[in-house]
Amino acid sequence: MPFTVLVGLQWGDEGKGKIADYLSGEFNIVARFQGGANAGHTVNIGKKSYVMHILPTGLLRQGVKGGVGAGVAVDLETLCAEIKVVEKASGPLRDRLIVDERAQLVLPFHKLEDKHLEESEKTVRIGTTQRGIGPSYRDRYARYGVRIGLLRDEGLLAKAIERSLSFNNPLLEKVFGQPRLSVDEVIEAILPYRKEVIPFLGDLSRFLWEHRNEKVLLEGAQGTLLDVDFGTYPFVTSSHCIAGAASVGAGIPPYLINRVIGVTKAYTTRVGEGPFPTEMDEELSARIREKGVEYGSSTGRPRRCGWLDLVALRYAVRLNGATEIMMTKLDVLSGLPEVQAAVAYETPLGKTKDFPLYGLESVKPVYRSMKGWGIFTGERIPHEALEFIKMVEEEVGVPVTLLSYGGDRAEVIRRRVIAEEF
């Protein structure tokens, strides 16, 4: 059975958590393949709200098995807290969860460094969540990282931490002006979680291969425009957020993937610093923010709001090889006399429909205006809203197969394939 990848097509916060939770009822296994505690996926079930940072949201459904791939940066405190929350919601995870032993840890000094880099007046502020994700990925590629599987052996764990501190302590002391940390201090900070985590450690890559004939959903974090290579660099995250990363982060052959679902809002949001061509004026942005509850699920920071950027969306669809789009929050735009979407950019070199490799801060969006719509419910989608969806499909070249409105997992509308309509 082919694997499905779910990715964000914007700067994150597209509503992937709700979509992944909804779709997980159709899958046997769900797995996260990158990111860490800097990504929050929100799921509302009845009156209860869950925010998942490391575990895949599909585990909130009883019977669904899940995994945390080698590509994820694991904060042990966050992981253990989420395990308890999920077990309370959907039952024991002992036979349902595998955390790949090759996943790497976010350690106390990573958080100290991240906080200093973000708050220092001497560095360019990226807008990170200060959860230590960037420094953890840096150590991974510099080969000073500490793998979670070493929790099984305290001796090997101590040696790995000592090696990591040989690189990080000079940074803490000489660059960040922080006191050096000892191996014992770091171990003391993570050992309380050791017994809780060890029962879930395993080889997720092998598990997925052995279950390759089952229905598997690979859940990505953040969004395409935050990808460390293909996003709006340097205002990006520290991992690969595109569909191709699912193969690497989960440890499966690329040919097992033949369906890529891209998630987008009906408008655009961005958290933190960086260029944002379609950003709305302050008054309208505040209106959309309050109606759409546009506050970071990990940090609570208010999100910047803008019109849908179809230039960026086309770029993201191409990069991911998206086979379909699932759109969220179309209802948030209800009540506006008109809605807009950027279909091209004006650049210093002229008009283009291509997303630039650099210089995004200098482009001006070319908008297409459409008539707004009124009340949007699961029983009634205004004609004007359907025209908006049709326009999006024509511009990006792939179908919109699901609409999400409201916050609850049940508030979705699937496309009726036979009738080719919602």
How is residue 174 annotated by DSSP?
I
CATH (domain of 110): 1.10.300.10
List the single range of 43-47, 76-80, 352-356, 402-406 with lowest mean pLDDT.
Answer: 43-47
Q: Do the bridges between strand 65-68 and strand 29-32 make them parallel or antiparallel, or are there none, so unpaired?
A: parallel
Structure tokens at 418: 């036979």
Same domain, 95 and 44: yes
Same domain, 266 and 322: yes
Same domain, 129 and 211: no
Same domain, 294 and 395: yes
What is the pLDDT, as a whole number, of residue 418? Answer: 45
What is the pLDDT, as a whole number, of residue 420? Answer: 61
Same domain, 215 and 130: no
Residue range 90-135, pLDDT digits in tens: 999 999 999 999 999 999 999 988 888 776 655 555 556 678 899 9
List the single range of 21-35, 36-50, 195-209, 275-289 with lowest mean pLDDT.
Answer: 36-50
pLDDT over threshold 80, residue 299: no
Instruction: Let me know if residue 232 belongs to a domain.
Output: no
Nearest to 275 by CA among 341, 231, 319, 329: 231
In angstroms, the CA 262 to CA 198 distance is 34
Same domain, 284 and 357: yes
In angstroms, the CA 257 to CA 68 distance is 18
Exposed / middle / buried, residue 113 (Cβ in 10 Å: 0-12, 13-18, 19+): buried
Same domain, 407 and 345: yes
Structure tokens at 268: 């655009």
Cβ atoms of residues 18 and 232 within 8 Å: no
Q: Residue 265: enclosing H or E segment and its boundaries?
A: strand 257-265
Instruction: Let me know if residue 151 belongs to a domain.
Output: yes
Same domain, 399 and 284: yes
Q: Is 368 helix (H, G, I), strand (E, B) or coil?
A: strand
Same domain, 281 and 409: yes
Same domain, 124 and 68: no
In angstroms, the CA 38 to CA 33 distance is 14
Confidence at 260, pLDDT banded by 50, 70, 90? very high
Query: What domain range is 160 assigned to?
Result: 104-194
Based on the structure, what is the number of domains in the chain? 3
Exposed / middle / buried, residue 419 (Cβ in 10 Å: 0-12, 13-18, 19+): exposed
Residues with a known catalytic role: 13, 41
Same domain, 274 and 171: no
Residue range 235-251, pLDDT digits in tens: 999 999 999 999 999 99
Instruction: Let me know if residue 356 belongs to a domain.
Output: yes
Orientation of helix 154-170 relative to helix 183-190, angle to 10°: 120
Cβ atoms of residues 277 and 340 within 8 Å: no
Peptide bond into 234 cis (omega under 30): yes
Cβ atoms of residues 105 and 86 within 8 Å: no
Task: Give percent of the chain with pLDDT exceeding 70.
Answer: 95
